[in-house]
């Protein structure tokens, strides 16, 4: 039943919502540029967020062998954990293999992800130069760049991934 009591209640709720929106607690403190820089780990597809530094495929081979191979296998295959290379042209077959080279749409994601999460047991331990080197190496073993490649904040966002234009957004803002 819709009584005068329930009318009163719903009015009170409306009023409370209004006051709450108009008078927000405002208990956040202004973050300084230095504080933001300390938190910010995101690399955007256009390269926003990439740090200064650079790294080559040759440097990447050495780092990969020391720090990644045990879990991800020789040249990114046959390891304990995620396969990082191969599978090209397999996506529309009955046995698709999704790897950096066969699947990933953006090369910037590699820098973003290695910096935040790898190596698995010691994330955050690599320098920017080392991450650029590993990114270059992983792109190389996937046939995306050649063995002379050097990655930095200018080059990496321009790398075109083989499967890059094969994605459809199911959500458009």
Footprint of ligand HEC on this chain (CB under 6 A)? 67-68, 70-72, 81-82, 84, 113-114, 118-121, 134
Residues 43-72 as x/- pattern, contact with other proteins by CB under 8 A:
xxxx------------------------x-
Do the Cβ atoms of 133 and 64 come closer than 8 Å? no
Q: Is 137 exposed, middle or buried (0-12, 13-18, 19+ CB in 10 A)?
A: buried
* Cα distances (Å, whole numbers) of residue 86 to 124, 146, 159, 161: 27, 16, 18, 13
Closest CB to ligand HEC among residues 126, 153: 126
Closest CB to other proteins among residues 52, 170: 170
Do the Cβ atoms of 52 and 64 come closer than 8 Å? no
Q: In the complex, what is the shortest distance from the CB of residue 99 to other proteins, in angstroms, rounded to a whole number?
A: 9
Q: Is 137 helix (H, G, I), strand (E, B) or coil?
A: helix
Q: In the complex, what is the shortest distance from the CB of residue 129 to other proteins, in angstroms, rounded to a whole number?
A: 20
Return the number of other C-beta atoms located less than 10 Å from residue 115's C-beta.
Answer: 23
| Contact residues for 90 (Cβ-Cβ < 8 A; gap 6+) | 96, 97, 102
Closest CB to ligand HEC among residues 46, 82: 82
Which of 50, 57, 64, 103 touches other proteins by CB under 8 A?
Answer: 103
Which chain residues interact with other proteins by CB under 8 A?
20-21, 24-31, 35-36, 39-46, 71, 80-82, 91-98, 100, 103-106, 108-109, 112-113, 116-117, 120, 123, 166-171, 173
């Amino acid at each position: 039943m819709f009584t005068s009591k329930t009318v009163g209640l719903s009015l009170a709720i409306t009023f409370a919502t209004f006051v709450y929106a108009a008078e927000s607690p405002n208990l956040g403190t202004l973050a300084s540029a230095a504080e933001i820089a300390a938190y910010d780990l995101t690399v955007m597809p256009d390269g926003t967020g990439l740090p200064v530094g650079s790294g080559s495929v040759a440097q990447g081979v050495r780092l990969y062998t020391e720090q990644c191979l045990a879990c991800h296998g020789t040249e990114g295959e046959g390891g304990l954990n995620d396969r990082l290379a191969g599978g090209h042209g397999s996506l529309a077959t009955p046995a698709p293999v999704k790897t950096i080279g066969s699947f990933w749409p953006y090369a910037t994601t590699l820098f973003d992800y290695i910096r935040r999460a790898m190596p698995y047991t010691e994330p955050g331990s690599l320098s920017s130069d080392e991450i650029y080197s590993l990114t270059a190496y992983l792109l190389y073993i996937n046939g995306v760049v050649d063995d002379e490649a050097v990655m930095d904040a200018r080059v990496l966002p321009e790398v075109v991934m083989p499967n890059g234009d094969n994605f459809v957004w199911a959500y458009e803002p």
